[in-house]
């Protein structure tokens, strides 16, 4: 029974923990007995296993669960086993199963079963009566089994290969390639079924039917196939769709966006020359002269990088280098590209909102331009270069690099309408001290609890909709991604890939107009930080949340946190091995760990100020800043100028935790966050 399974697990855990094992290192197996063997003592046993799984997950949420699946269908015809295994596995995953031992080649996809067969299988699992078993068996007695691979196996080899790429399916890949090699040249296979598969992946992504994570899995199959074919290529060039020089611009350490683009282009037949991050124009010019690629791709995270792209474009033009230029990055917009980059570049410039759009643009450009571009000026009209990119919304355009700060701290303050000034807090909280604190060994396990899965799985890996709701509804894609990320988290803990660190200090502060003035304990001026005031009502400005009177002993907190740079090497190694999804997921995990560390530290600072979060505050509420005060980061709309990062660095010296500032005020490593923390109860984010 389920209860008995729980009791046994309790005893086991006690013993294992006594031996020094931690709970998250333990996998509990609740075991399953054959559900349709005809032995009455096992009737309903599968249902007990599922109930047992739930009890185990409730009682020991830190432990993992594992189960050998196919025992449940022992004694049934093969076709029936595949169906019963699939239905049972689905029910177990819904009950919280973390790992399954299962022959994936003898498993049909749950989603491909019709309602009738699911009901018949469930009757066997949950009722276990002889009648239920008989009707189930009757349906499959004379049916051949039909695993996904079998369905694929029925297709001619070229169509099968194309479909394997589309589905990210690797089983049988080598056999299929061997079969094709008997009648096709390796290059024909690459340019034929494999590329056709990737083209279909692009089409499905464009139609919203595949997410980034799935595209990466398809890319993995593509890479594996090309690697397998490479020895047969006999010197022929396997990448023949064009070549691209890829770089993140000067002063910018943003890697993940460029890497994603690199993977997508490389697995779609492009030769990618990756020049890395912080790439100055001179390096790009020298590399282009060496490689003469048909395209150049520039990436960058921040608004400053968008300006740096314009400068780079002008430098390339001055050097007579004008192949079509693809540009992308979070703070870039089509409008900025049209207004600031296209006019200074001698060739065509196209903005790509995401990597797949960049690929489509590259293919479109090269289809128009073949044979390959020469160093001479391209012939297209300026109008062509100014075309807005597909999928670029007005809203996205308005929020990005085109937007100049409305008003910086140096301008005269806007006069506030009467009554809009924030109330002085009844009591200004006193910080415990004004010393600089360095936290070098932060508890990674604890910080992972502050990970924002919406950002990680939604923003970075492309899952659509509310991640929390998808998980609640046991969405298979969401659960698979969570498990993959969880495995990376575990590896990050045990192998020390991530090492979050922080430096913070509370500082005396007063305000003057749109500025916050920082003072040391002796009343010596430390720094002046500018903030933007809204030019429209309610004319918010962060400076208003700090008292103008020095005697009020008001204060703010400053911090820099980082997740360290341990993952960069690891992610690169994974990319080399063709583990594209893991590589991007790991980089994304590092970035979101930096943000999680900021959230964790911010909570700690509130407690140190004397107003800890109420215990009932949920993590989802915390992500929506439903606590007292806010943290603003330079570069955000309330303080768009990044130059004050230098002041923050002077006061915090985060170099001691391994964080450096680039010439464009970006922090290296990439997975770092800085902030000014306000305690004022009325403080809120504004743009």
**Interacting residues with ligand B12 (CB under 6 A):** 253-254, 256-258, 260-261, 297-299, 301-303, 326-331, 352, 354-355, 358, 459-460, 591, 594-595, 633-637, 640, 666-667, 670-674
What gap in Å lies between CA 595 and CA 563, rounded to an integer?
9
Beta bridge partners of 339: none
CB of 647 to ligand B12, least distance (A): 12
Distances 413 to 21, 275, 371, 533, 552 between C-alpha atoms, Å? 61, 44, 58, 8, 22
CB of 635 to ligand B12, least distance (A): 2
DSSP assignments along 13-59, one per residue: HHHHHHTT--GGG-EE------SSSS-GGGTTHHHHHHHHHHHHHHH
CB of 240 to ligand B12, least distance (A): 20
CB of 19 to ligand B12, least distance (A): 39
CB of 666 to ligand B12, least distance (A): 4
Distances 498 to 1, 146, 280 between C-alpha atoms, Å? 42, 43, 29
CB 109 within 8 A of CB 68: no
CB of 672 to ligand B12, least distance (A): 5
What gap in Å lies between CA 128 and CA 88, rounded to an integer?
13
Nearer residue to ligand B12 within complex by CB, 147 or 324: 324
Nearer residue to ligand B12 within complex by CB, 105 or 656: 656
**Can you say whether residue 364 is alpha, beta or left, with left for phi > 0 and alpha for psi between -120 and 50 degrees?**
alpha
Nearer residue to ligand B12 within complex by CB, 166 or 331: 331
What gap in Å lies between CA 211 and CA 94, rounded to an integer?
22
What gap in Å lies between CA 585 and CA 263, rounded to an integer?
13
CB of 400 to ligand B12, least distance (A): 7
Nearer residue to ligand B12 within complex by CB, 225 or 253: 253
Q: How are the residues of the chain apportioned to helix, strand and coil, as percentages rounded to the nearest 5? A: 50, 15, 40
SS3 label, residue 340? helix
CB of 489 to ligand B12, least distance (A): 17
Other CB atoms within a 10 A radius of the CB of residue 124 amount to 27
Nearer residue to ligand B12 within complex by CB, 73 or 593: 593
Nearer residue to ligand B12 within complex by CB, 34 or 388: 388
Structure tokens at 357: 């759009």
Nearer residue to ligand B12 within complex by CB, 223 or 299: 299
| Those residues with Cβ within 8 angstroms of residue 249's Cβ, 6 or more apart along the chain or in another chain | 278, 279, 298, 299, 300, 305, 308, 309, 312
Nearer residue to ligand B12 within complex by CB, 194 or 591: 591
DSSP state of 459: I
Phi, psi dihedral angles at 512 (to 5 degrees): -150, 110
CB 409 within 8 A of CB 542: no
Nearer residue to ligand B12 within complex by CB, 50 or 275: 275
Nearer residue to ligand B12 within complex by CB, 87 or 277: 277
CB of 633 to ligand B12, least distance (A): 3
CB of 252 to ligand B12, least distance (A): 9
């Amino acid at each position: 029974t389920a209860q008995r399974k729980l009791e046994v697990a309790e005893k086991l855990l006690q013993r294992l923990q006594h031996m020094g094992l931690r709970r998250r290192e333990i996998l509990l197996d609740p075991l399953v007995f054959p559900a349709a063997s005809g032995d009455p003592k096992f009737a309903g046993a599968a249902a007990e296993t599922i109930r047992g799984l739930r009890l185990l997950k409730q009682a020991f949420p830190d432990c993992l669960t594992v189960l050998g699946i196919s025992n449940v269908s022992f004694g049934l015809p093969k076709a029936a086993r595949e169906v019963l295994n699939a239905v049972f596995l689905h029910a177990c995953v819904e009950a919280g199963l973390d790992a399954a031992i299962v022959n994936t080649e003898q498993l049909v996809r749950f989603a491909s079963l019709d309602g009738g067969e699911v009901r018949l299988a469930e009757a066997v699992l949950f009722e276990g009566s002889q009648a239920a078993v008989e009707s189930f068996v009757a349906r499959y007695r004379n049916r051949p089994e039909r695993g996904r691979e079998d369905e694929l196996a029925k297709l001619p080899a070229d169509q099968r290969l194309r479909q394997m790429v589309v589905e990210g399916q690797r089983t049988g890949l080598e056999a299929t390639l061997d079969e094709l090699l008997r009648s096709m040249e390796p290059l024909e296979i690459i340019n034929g079924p494999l590329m056709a598969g990737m083209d279909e992946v692009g089409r499905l992504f464009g139609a919203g039917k595949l997410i980034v994570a799935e595209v990466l899995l398809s890319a993995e199959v593509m890479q594996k196939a090309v690697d397998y074919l490479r020895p047969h290529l006999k010197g022929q060039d396997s990448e023949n769709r064009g070549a691209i020089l890829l770089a993140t611009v000067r002063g910018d350490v943003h890697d993940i966006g460029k890497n994603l683009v690199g993977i997508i282009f490389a697995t779609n037949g492009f030769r990618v020359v990756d020049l890395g991050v912080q790439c100055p124009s001179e390096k790009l010019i020298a590399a282009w002269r060496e490689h003469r690629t048909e395209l150049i791709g520039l990436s960058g995270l921040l608004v400053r990088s968008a300006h740096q792209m314009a400068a780079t474009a002008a430098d390339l033009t001055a050097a007579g280098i004008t192949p079509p230029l693809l540009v992308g990055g979070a703070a870039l917009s089509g409008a900025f590209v049209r207004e600031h980059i296209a006019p200074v570049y001698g060739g065509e410039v196209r903005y790509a909102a995401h990597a797949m759009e960049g690929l489509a643009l590259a293919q479109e450009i090269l289809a128009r331009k073949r044979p390959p571009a020469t160093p001479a000026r391209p012939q297209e009209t300026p109008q062509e270069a100014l075309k807005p990119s597909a999928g670029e919304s007005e809203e996205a355009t308005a929020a990005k690099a085109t937007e100049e700060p409305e008003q910086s701290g140096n301008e005269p303050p806007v006069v506030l309408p009467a009554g809009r000034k924030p109330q002085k807090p009844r009591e200004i909280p006193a910080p415990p001290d004004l010393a600089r604190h360095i936290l070098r060994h932060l508890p990674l396990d604890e910080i992972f609890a502050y990970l924002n899965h919406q950002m990680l799985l939604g923003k970075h890996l492309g899952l659509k909709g509310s991640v929390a709701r998808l998980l609640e509804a046991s969405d298979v894609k969401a659960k698979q991604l969570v498990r993959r990320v969880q495995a990376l988290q575990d590896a990050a803990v045990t192998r020390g890939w991530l090492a979050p660190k922080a430096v913070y200090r509370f500082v005396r502060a007063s305000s003057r107009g749109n500025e916050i003035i920082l003072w040391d304990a002796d009343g010596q001026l430390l720094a002046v930080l500018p903030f933007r005031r809204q030019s429209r009502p309610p004319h918010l400005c962060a400076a208003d949340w700090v008292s103008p009177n020095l005697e009020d002993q008001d204060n703010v907190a400053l911090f820099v946190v980082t997740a360290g740079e341990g993952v960069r090497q690891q992610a690169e190694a994974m990319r080399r091995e063709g583990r594209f999804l893991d590589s991007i997921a790991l980089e994304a995990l590092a970035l979101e760990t930096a943000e999680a560390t900021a959230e964790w530290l911010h909570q700690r600072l509130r407690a140190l100020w004397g107003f800890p979060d109420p215990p009932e505050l949920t993590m989802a509420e915390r992500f929506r800043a439903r606590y007292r005060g806010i943290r603003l980061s330079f570069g955000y709309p309330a303080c768009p100028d990044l130059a004050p990062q230098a002041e923050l660095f002077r006061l915090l010296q985060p170099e001691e935790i391994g964080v450096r500032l680039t010439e464009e005020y970006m922090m290296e490593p990439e997975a770092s966050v800085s902030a000014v923390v306000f305690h004022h109860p009325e403080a809120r984010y504004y743009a």
